[in-house]
């Protein structure tokens, strides 16, 4: 049992749970907007997400004022050389794959522009710390990253206010996830010198804000399930389950902080349910 737990922890430390969630989120918007996406697009997104998250962890190690504290950071410290090499390989493969599969068409042009803006913004946040609420920008970038291609391919007739509502909800759900993770990491981030919402608010204020946002999203998703056209009922239901899972894991679970983190990240994989319909 312990061996299985260690394997699952390694799966999370490698950010593969985040990759699965990102792919499922793109699948969510692909189904919502009734578009077709080739499997190569999922491969490129998986590489991009894995590189971003792994690089973020490796950069954090270099900026940390103290030795790594959490098991996650210890893992990245121990394997930093091989992870760095894999990041380089993934970047090269991603660039070559993009030109081979996409060509210099509209998809690659938009992806390049978005990637440049997101990378530049994250770099400023990392090294300058000028943005007070980095969690907001990261949540927004996450949703842009998983939704831009389905939006680009969608028919204008499908780009209605309901889709905009789901986009806003997804941003707020990603923000809820980030605030919860910030709360779990608050002591380590403080010691290591990492800025976050936990350093801008008291523990009680942050926990209260998380509770209010979680309840707001639960109520909103239930109202959407009840009052939106039946076409959107499945999507509203999935968002309700994702939000409820976050809320129950964070406030109701007696699991360890690492187990809570893994469970919350895996909840973003729930949209794979749509593959059954």
pLDDT tens-place string over residues 133-173: 678 888 998 999 999 999 999 999 889 999 999 999 999 99
* 101-110, 153-162, 190-199: least confidently modelled range: 190-199
pLDDT given for residue 129 in this prediction: 53
Average pLDDT over residues 51-57: 86
* 89-93, 99-103, 128-132, 195-199: least confidently modelled range: 128-132
pLDDT given for residue 193 in this prediction: 53
pLDDT given for residue 183 in this prediction: 86
Cα separation, 5 vs 148, whole angstroms: 35
Q: What is the pLDDT of residues 20-42, one digit of tens each?
A: 999 999 999 999 999 999 999 99
pLDDT given for residue 79 in this prediction: 85
Average pLDDT over residues 100-105: 82
- Please tell me the pTM assigned to this model: 0.88
């Amino acid at each position: 049992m312990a061996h299985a737990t260690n394997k699952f922890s390694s799966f999370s430390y490698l950010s593969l749970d985040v990759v699965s969630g990102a792919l499922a989120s793109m699948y969510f918007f692909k189904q919502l907007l009734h578009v077709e996406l080739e499997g190569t697009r999922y491969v490129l997104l998986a590489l991009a997400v894995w590189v971003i998250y792994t690089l973020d962890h490796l950069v954090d190690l270099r900026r940390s004022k103290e030795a790594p504290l959490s098991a996650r950071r210890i893992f990245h410290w121990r394997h930093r050389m091989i992870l760095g090499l894999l990041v380089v390989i993934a970047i090269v493969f991603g660039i070559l794959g993009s030109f081979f599969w996409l060509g210099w068409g509209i998809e690659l042009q938009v992806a390049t522009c978005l990637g440049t803006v997101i990378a530049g913004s994250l770099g400023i946040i990392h090294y300058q710390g000028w943005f007070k609420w980095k969690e907001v920008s990261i949540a927004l970038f996450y949703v842009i990253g998983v939704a831009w291609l389905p939006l680009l391919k969608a028919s204008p007739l499908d780009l209605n206010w309901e889709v905009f509502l789901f986009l806003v909800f997804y941003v707020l759900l990603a923000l809820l996830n980030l605030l919860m993770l910030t709360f779990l990491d608050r002591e380590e981030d403080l010691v290591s010198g990492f800025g976050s919402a936990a350093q801008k608010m008291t523990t009680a204020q942050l926990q209260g804000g998380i509770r209010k946002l979680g309840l707001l999203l639960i109520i909103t998703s239930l109202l959407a399930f009840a009052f939106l056209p039946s076409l959107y009922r499945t999507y509203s239901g999935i968002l309700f389950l994702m939000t409820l899972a976050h809320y129950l894991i964070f406030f109701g679970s007696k699991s360890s902080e690492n187990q809570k983190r893994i469970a919350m990240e895996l909840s973003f994989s729930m949209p794979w349910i749509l593959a059954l319909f």
